[in-house]
A and B are shown apart, each in its own frame.
Chain A
Amino acid sequence: MFDFFRKYSLPIIVFVGLLVALITYSLNLSRSHQANMLERGVNGTLAPMQQQATRSGGFFGRIWHDYIALVNLKQENSRLTGEIKQLNSALAAAGEALRENERLARLLDLRKTIKEPTVAAMVIGEDVTPWFRSLTLDRGSESGIREGMPVLAADGVVGQTVKVTANSSRVLLLTDHASGIAAMIQRSRARGVVKGRRDNLCSLEFAMRGEDVQVGDQVVSSGIGGVFAKGLPIGEVTMVKKGEYGIFQTVTIRPTVSTAHLEEVLVVLRAPRD
């Protein structure tokens, strides 16, 4: 008997092994969704190791992604930084174009209200001294500009042209001491001459003491003198002072146009009266 097993040991082991495998398989067919003891043991033991192995795999993956695969990061970063700069410049230029468009649209609206021909000009320079108030425009006699022509902005009167050359002209601002514009109070029709003062202000000279002038009144051109058309906005009355004596009152005006920030103006090609 022992010799029989010894002689056929291999086929017997193979047969028994196959039988055990078959029985194990057949016994587990009905519980294929549940883990048996062996599976639980194996899987339970393997799980922590698999976890570590997976983490290690993530670590190597990170090394790959964060370092080895990103050798061109510096170049890409430089390229993207350059692109951001370009986009920022484009954005700033677009914003500037938008604001310029708004200003020009307002100037165009003003142009439509003026009957005489006009020339749009750009401010290219300022007076070099703080006590004279003048601007330099990029248009001159070649564009039809002559001395003494009115210069307007979208908000109102800027001044009048002086010292015109072929391709440039200077504007004597209404805030200059040498400037004088015939004007009137829009509400009461009180008349006077708007003269320049210090601190970018003006005063209404020769306004009679008895005339009705109040703070907040709008000052417009009176049309007298032939330079400016009637009714153009000049400024707003900010102070009225009547002394005990004298025939005139002191009226301070804040111009409607901020001459410090002017960029485009309209020159009205109206021939000045000699």
Chain B
Amino acid sequence: MTGFFKGATLVLLLILLQTSVLPLYLSTPYKPDLLLILMVFLALRAPVSTSFPAAYALGLLKDCVSGLYLGLNAFSFLIVYLVLKAVSDRLYVQNSLLLVFTVSLSTLATMLINAVLLSIFSEAGGIVSSLLTAMVPHLLMNAFVASLVAVFPEFSRVRTVK
């Protein structure tokens, strides 16, 4: 229960940081996706029982504060999570470079899935051009923030199976 509250507090802080604090200092293309980075971290490090619902919940949460389409990011987060979870057992997850690499790939993957879903199901024509324009700065920003995650002591802690 304590872990749940800690996680919820962390997510709340990330949401507030991303919606209300960072926009004051960063221009629009350079917004990092803190929820995606958290999802990737959970996919690599947390057990399925926690990380699976968390990945979907983080996606839904992102949909609540972004765009018009509830379920868009929830779906793309889940797809990316499942792929990462399938390979995470074979990866050295304590490596900070690996986190940067997986976050970068996940950013690209979610943008691609979002672009496909939006093009097929929404009336937001031309959004692909916006996605392409924002892709490089968004990717670089996410990679940068992911590299900062490795600074936290929790990152290098090795989890043991109980």
Question: What residues of chain B lie closer than 8 Å to A163, measured between beta carbons?
Answer: 68
Determine whether the beta carbon of A131 is less than 8 Å from that of B131: yes
B86 within 8 Å of A by Cβ?
Answer: no
Q: A136: which of B19, B31, B33, B124 is its contact (CB, 8 Å)?
A: B19
**A130–B138 Cα gap in the complex (Å)?**
8
Known: A177-B125, A178-B122, A178-B124. A127 touches B130 (CB 8 A): no
Q: A124: which of B20, B62, B131, B133 is its contact (CB, 8 Å)?
A: B20
Determine whether the beta carbon of A131 is less than 8 Å from that of B68: no
Determine whether the beta carbon of B131 is less than 8 Å from that of A172: no
- Dominant secondary structure at the A interface: loop
Determine whether the beta carbon of A128 is less than 8 Å from that of B28: no
Question: What residues of chain A lie closer than 8 Å to B71, measured between beta carbons?
Answer: none
**A184–B126 Cα gap in the complex (Å)?**
22
Determine whether the beta carbon of B68 is less than 8 Å from that of A199: no
Known: A130-B138, A134-B66. A197 touches B20 (CB 8 A): no
**A178–B118 Cα gap in the complex (Å)?**
10
Question: What residues of chain B lie closer than 8 Å to A199, measured between beta carbons?
Answer: 133
Known: A129-B67, A177-B124, A177-B130. 11 other contacts (CB 8 A): A128-B35, A130-B28, A130-B31, A131-B134, A134-B68, A177-B126, A177-B127, A178-B123, A178-B124, A195-B126, A200-B28
| A interface, CB within 8 angstroms of B | 124-132, 134, 136, 162-163, 172, 176-178, 195, 197-200, 260
